[in-house]
């Protein structure tokens, strides 16, 4: 499976820019019912990377975009600073732990929802890794809607698979470098539906060095974030 390296670079810059945008929105905006971003200090700048799902042999049906409709955004967690330069995305709204953004790398409009885990555990403990993100993207020009990916913060063990548990349902992911994507295309829409109705999503993986990780994401705000990007990227 081949990853589009130009898209990986573009999304790396988009993600960095997204969190730079969030980091500088004043807390006053929240009091005025506008999307707010964190004021807390952030960790050192990570090398954030993501890529669209590598091409598989089976065609991937695009899930139906969610109907528009949002509630008042909630405060966001601290976000990492970003390097200067690169495409700067527009923050559409911060909903619980989930941010909704839009950007236009290479002239193509992209909308995405993104969150960091609320808890991360490594075994052995305290192993260093880059920040972790769950990323749900919609790219109208590529006829892609609600594509779920995981940026795990380390290179996966080559050839390994991982999973995301949403409630009592487990969704298999295949891995490449530091990314994970839904293994069975038909499961992607089911996973998004489960996320909208669920409380948490738990991702388990194994690094190339054998470190086992468990990352838990809250799903509070994910429905509103997905509704907002569906509204923006119709």
Sign of torsion over alpha carbons 153, 154, 158, 163: negative
Q: Name the CATH superfamily housing domain 5-55+65-232.
A: Invasion associated locus B (IalB) protein (2.60.40.1880)
φ/ψ of 89, rounded to 5, equals -75, 165
φ/ψ of 88, rounded to 5, equals -100, 115
For the record, the structure tokens of 67 come out as 């109907």
- pTM, rounded to two decimals: 0.69
Cα–Cα distance between 46 and 172 in angstroms, integer? 27
pLDDT higher at 24 or 91: 91
β-bridge partners, 17: none
Tell me: the pLDDT tens digits for 88-138? 789 999 999 999 999 887 778 999 999 999 999 999 998 899 999 999 999
Cα–Cα distance between 151 and 175 in angstroms, integer? 10
Domain boundaries, the chain: 5-55+65-232
Cα–Cα distance between 149 and 50 in angstroms, integer? 8
Cα–Cα distance between 62 and 75 in angstroms, integer? 31
């Amino acid at each position: 499976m081949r990853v589009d390296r130009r898209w990986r670079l573009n999304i790396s810059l988009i993600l960095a820019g997204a969190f730079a945008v969030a980091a500088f929105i004043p807390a006053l905006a929240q009091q005025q019912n506008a999307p707010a971003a964190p004021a807390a200090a952030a960790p050192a700048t990570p090398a954030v990377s993501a890529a669209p799902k590598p091409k598989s042999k089976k065609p991937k049906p695009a899930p139906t975009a969610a109907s528009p409709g949002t509630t008042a955004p909630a405060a966001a967690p601290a976000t990492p600073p970003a390097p200067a330069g690169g495409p700067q995305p527009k923050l559409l709204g911060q909903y619980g732990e989930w941010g909704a953004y839009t950007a236009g790398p290479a002239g193509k409009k992209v909308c995405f929802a993104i969150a960091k885990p609320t808890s991360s555990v490594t075994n052995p403990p305290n192993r260093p890794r880059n920040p972790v993100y769950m990323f749900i993207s919609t790219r109208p020009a590529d006829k892609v809607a609600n594509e779920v990916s995981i940026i795990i913060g380390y290179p996966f063990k080559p050839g390994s698979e991982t999973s995301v548990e949403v409630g009592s349902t487990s969704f298999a992911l295949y891995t490449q470098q530091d990314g994970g994507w839904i293994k069975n295309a038909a499961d992607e829409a089911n996973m998004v539906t489960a996320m909208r109705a669920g409380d948490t999503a738990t991702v388990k993986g194994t690094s190339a060095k054998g470190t086992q990780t468990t990352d838990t994401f809250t799903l509070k705000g994910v429905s509103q974030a997905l509704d907002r990007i569906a509204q923006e990227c119709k």
